[in-house]
Chain A
Amino acid sequence: MAEFTELSVADIRDGLKQGVFSARELTDAAYANIEKQDESIHAFLELTPELAYEQADKIDAAVAAGDELGVLAGVPCAFKDNMNEIGTHTTCASAMLEDYVSPFDATCVANAVNAGAIPLGKTNMDEFAFGSSTETSHFGKTMNPWDHERVPGGSSGGSAAAVASGMATIALGSDTGGSIRQPASFCGVVGVKPTYGVVSRYGVVAFGSSLDQVGPFARSVRDAAETLNAIQGRDPLDCTSQESLVDFTANLGQGVKGMKIGRIPAFMEVEGLQPEVRETFDKALLKLEGLGADIVDIDLPHADAAISAYYVLGPCEAFSNLARFDSIRYGHHAHGANLEQRYEASRAEGFGREAKTRIMLGGYLLASGVYDKYYYPAQQVRTLITDDYRKAFEKVEAIVLPTSPRTAFKFGEVSDPTTMHLSDIYTVSINIAGNGGMNLPIGLGAESGMPVGMQIVGPQFHDEAFFRVGAALEAVCDVPRIAVQKGGLA
């Protein structure tokens, strides 16, 4: 039998049906692997064996009874720690929520579990998803499975590392400005931010409500498509979620022959784009051409303004969303002589530096007189960026660009906040426009030996377009599915 850690979602489903292994055995194997690896990677903040074995027993009973199995039956799965799951701590990697226990399930978690996924535990992240390296977690950093001296990316760094190391077959993350795609790129796994509205946000602790979207991490395009099939759809508890009847696996074998795929020449001139990223990206473009795709140059004229717009809109929405942490109903509480002092002391102790910075920034940008200078123009820029994408998609069926201008950096290498923010330069614009995108691992950097990712973007509510391109390109890119740790210790 193949190593449990290398099985795909379909392999697991078939193996269970054919009685090759049980869900209990899969769960045993997953926890044995976590015990072996997670001390050095620290992808998980909490393990939930009780929930996992309860689910495994249900699956095994369903197999024994000959019942139909869900698409994710028996699949070891991890959830980012901003997703509520009954009975687990949902900390957002913050001291603010260190003792918070979820009284309800996020819809994405419930959908994954209803489809048969085994909930292994909750994964590390940047505090409240504010960051691009998982270094701002209150509970310590997560190591990149390829090189423990490097960051896994962020903010969903724990989910990316759990999948890249083989500890989980799939994981869910959330993406406000690149928080699924960038760590997927740094860790060499597939990561998908669907179009805004494809997956319900109910029960996921909000950061930027008009930007946040939940999506899967997986080791193959097909596994990601199966996971998205399971978690998507209209949810009465999230009024922005949309009815979706798309089967994301439907056109995975279609190939890209004759498909018009856009490339953005101006994006290749960005300062800070590493030569190894550019080189690997250009090779992948040639492969797409070799597969029969028609590569077309396109322009997104307002893309330059995306990062400024994002760093206005994101903090403004975060300021508003994080006002709920009042120390009364839940969350860290300090003592104060009156209510105001209690708020101030609780929030001072509960939030870390990056969270405080973003809340302060949002509070300032929304102040009377300042609002008209930054916030209103940022929403106008949003119109321009959305129009740019709409016009581009009149000419092409998908757009490709690097996911990140660089490969995973070393701990402490990037400490200045504005440089850190620049690592999101290729990812933020689709959150602003609402479109979906995927990170696909396309090779290893010639200099660092670390994974390089291509981002494939589709038109709004046509995420099947980037799945199609991703599946075709994946077949001709030889990238290890499980991280090969430097020094051969893995």
Chain B
Amino acid sequence: MTLSEKDIRDIAVYVRIGLTDEEVTQMTSDLNEIIGTLEPITHMDLEGVEPTFHPIGGLSNVMREDEIGTPFPREVALENGDTVQDGCFEIPSILGGEAGDR
């Protein structure tokens, strides 16, 4: 299957990346080329093969006591935020859609 420019625009919305028209054209060609190289995997006989989701199997759980630790200080956690108010990250309004720019 070949991805169209419309497919690319749909994926871009889904992954939350704004693309210019020029980028859409380039991305369409790049993704189709890469996906073409992934084809071999679709032709393999994998009937009955269990998937491996993690490279290291056969390990046992590591348990510990449930103890109170030192939390990451709130003011430090907020240091890299764009705008902060009352000890919280401030974000554009997510309700109503008319809240305007921040």
Contacts and interface: CB of A to CB of B under 8 A. Distances in A.
Nearest to A331: B80
Given A360-B31, A374-B42, A381-B46, A460 B62 contact: no
A24 interface: no
B34 to A, nearest CB: 6
A448 B17 CA distance: 41
Instruction: Choose among A240, A305, A361 the residue with the greatest number of B CB atoms under 10 Å from its CB.
Output: A361
B40 interface: yes
Contacts of B21: none
A236 B64 contact: yes
Nearest to A364: B11
B13 to A, nearest CB: 8
B56 A197 contact: yes
A359 interface: yes
A328 B81 contact: yes
Interface in A273-289: none
Sort chain B's interface into a size bin.
35 or more
A239 interface: yes
B56 to A, nearest CB: 5
A304 interface: yes
Contacts of B38: 308, 311-312, 374
Contacts of A434: 55-56
Contacts of B53: 210, 379
Given A356-B27, A421-B37, A348 B18 contact: yes
Contacts of A360: 8, 11-12, 15, 17, 27, 31
B51 A417 contact: no
B55 to A, nearest CB: 3
A246 interface: no
Nearest to A381: B41
Contacts of A381: 41, 44, 46
A281 to B, nearest CB: 25
Contact of B18 (A339, A347, A418): A347
A344 B72 contact: no
Contacts of B3: 364
A380 B77 CA distance: 39
A460 B54 CA distance: 13
B62 A239 contact: yes
A105 to B, nearest CB: 12
Contacts of B82: 327-328, 333
B68 interface: no
A323 B44 CA distance: 31
B62 A308 contact: no
Contact of B91 (A104, A305, A339, A460): A339
B28 to A, nearest CB: 10
Nearest to A382: B52
Nearest to B54: A210
A210 B55 contact: yes
A380 B50 contact: yes
A339 B41 contact: no
B79 to A, nearest CB: 6
Interface string B41-82: 110101001111111110100101000000010001101111
Contacts of B37: 307-308, 311, 418, 421
B87 interface: no
A308 B17 contact: no
Contacts of A196: 55-56
Given A236-B64, A363-B14, A432-B55, A308 B77 contact: no
Contact of B92 (A338, A383, A421): A338
Contact of A335 (B41, B46, B102): B102
A139 interface: no
B41 A374 contact: yes
A88 to B, nearest CB: 13
Contacts of A377: 41-42, 44, 46
A174 B15 CA distance: 25
Interface string A189-202: 00000011100000
Interface in A316-356: 319, 323, 327-331, 333, 335-340, 342-345, 347-348, 351, 353, 356
B55 A386 contact: yes
Given A196-B56, A328-B81, A418-B33, A234 B18 contact: no
A103 B72 CA distance: 9
Given A347-B18, A359-B15, A103 B42 contact: no
A327 B80 CA distance: 10
A417 B49 contact: no
Given A329-B89, A338-B97, A356-B17, 13 more contacts: A103-B80, A210-B55, A308-B37, A323-B15, A329-B80, A340-B16, A342-B91, A342-B92, A343-B16, A347-B17, A367-B11, A383-B52, A433-B55
10 contacts: A103-B76, A311-B34, A330-B81, A353-B23, A360-B31, A364-B11, A380-B49, A381-B46, A383-B50, A386-B55
Q: Give the 4 A-B CB pairs with smallest separation, nearest first.
A: A434-B55, A379-B51, A330-B80, A348-B18
